[in-house]
Structure 1
Amino acid sequence: MNNIYQFKANNYRNEEVNFNQYKGHVLLIVNTASECGFTPQYKGLQNLYDQYKAKGFEVLAFPCNQFKQQEKGDNQEIKQFCDLHFNISFPLFAKIEVNGVNTHPLYNFLKEEAPGILGSKSIKWNFTKFLVNKEGKVVKRFAPTTKPENIASSIEAIL
């Protein structure tokens, strides 16, 4: 278990996505929410995706309702919200949990590979971001307050 390619997750259509398809890509994995103060970061995430997609970069968005119930909708409602307000074109996954007993296995892995401040493993809030290199290794964790545009240099360094 030293890379993300062993994982699978359902997209917003509830179709299984095997992470093997992302081999050789740089990934930014983000837990998202539609009613959060950081929700406008969707625009910055889309800008990063537009800027680097042709070079093998992907943004993977995982909606989560664990932080003050800021993602109440079902998967289709979340997709409609993202399309209407941010016109996202990067992959949107089904709503998951990122903490607790029902944590998605991908997030257990991400938290283990890139702990937060003072070694904390739990996700503290929406829009925590994990940068994954072309070999599927987690290289950095970014706080929710880190704006997507401030991650560009880290992405460029590993593309």
Structure 2
Amino acid sequence: MTANSVLDVEINSLNGTPADLPRYSGGPVLIVNVASKCGLTPQYAGLERLQQRYADRGLTVLGVPCNQFAGQEPGSAEEIAEFCSATYGVSFPLTEKVDVNGDARHPLYQRLTGFADAEGHSGDIRWNFEKFLVARDGGVVARFAPQTDPESPEVTAAVEAQLG
């Protein structure tokens, strides 16, 4: 992994146990801050389809619940897990709920937010469902705006470029 790897950051899974991000270093990881009550929440379906489409080639989608945008992820860990499973059939891993901006920004997002998207935006997360593609070595290789569909040509091309 690179010196600035995001995959060596400690974060817990939604169930409270360590998420062990280094285990994902064998393939690309698409990290997305997620919320259950957002206009973009239907992106869960596209994220799950990406996971299903590319999992056998090494992709892991990693959802990171966050309640910083208009309180759109107010639920407990159990409520988030139930919503994701029952509503969207989510099989990809979810982390604990964290802050992605501000003084309490999680170390994972301290590393991610330094990377700019194709339009040059770096820094604070703009809204729910902002996406970061992380290469096998833990370095960030792409950032996508919240409104970018997870199955868009730009996301799928970036993912495919990182697959083995």
Q: TM-score scaled by structure 2?
A: 0.93
Compare 57-66 and 19-28 and name the one that shifted more: 19-28
**CA contact under 8 A between 2:27 and 2:162: conserved in structure 1?**
no
- Residue 119 of structure 1 and its aligned partner are, at CA, apart by 4.2
Give the percent of matched residue pairs that are identical in Structure 1 and Structure 2. Answer: 44
Among candidates 139, 157, 160, match of residue 153 of structure 1:
157
- Residue 120 of structure 1 and its aligned partner are, at CA, apart by 3.5
The residue that corresponds to 2:14 in the other structure is 12
Q: 1:119 to 1:88 in 2, by over 3 A?
A: closer
Q: Which has the higher helix share?
A: 1
The residue that corresponds to 1:115 in the other structure is 116
Q: Structure 2: which 5+ runs fail to align? A: none
Q: Structure 1: which 5+ runs fail to align? A: none
Q: TM-score scaled by structure 1?
A: 0.95
Letter in 2 for 1:36: C
Letter in 2 for 1:76: E
The residue that corresponds to 1:52 in the other structure is 54
- Residue 158 of structure 1 and its aligned partner are, at CA, apart by 1.3
Letter in 1 for 2:37: E
Alignment of 1:97-116 (within 5 A): 97-112=99-114, 114-116=115-117
The residue that corresponds to 2:83 in the other structure is 81
Which digits, 9 at most, give the CA deviation of each residue in 1:16-43, with x for residues without a partner?
1222111121000000000000000000
Paired with 1:120 and 1:55, the residues of 2 have a C-alpha distance of 29
Paired with 2:81 and 2:161, the residues of 1 have a C-alpha distance of 31
**CA contact under 8 A between 2:33 and 2:131: conserved in structure 1?**
yes
The residue that corresponds to 1:21 in the other structure is 23
Structure 1 residue ranges, 4+ long, deviating more than 2 angstroms after superposition? 115-120
Which digits, 9 at most, give the CA deviation of each residue in 1:106-134, with x for residues without a partner?
0000011x135544400010000000111
- Residue 149 of structure 1 and its aligned partner are, at CA, apart by 0.6
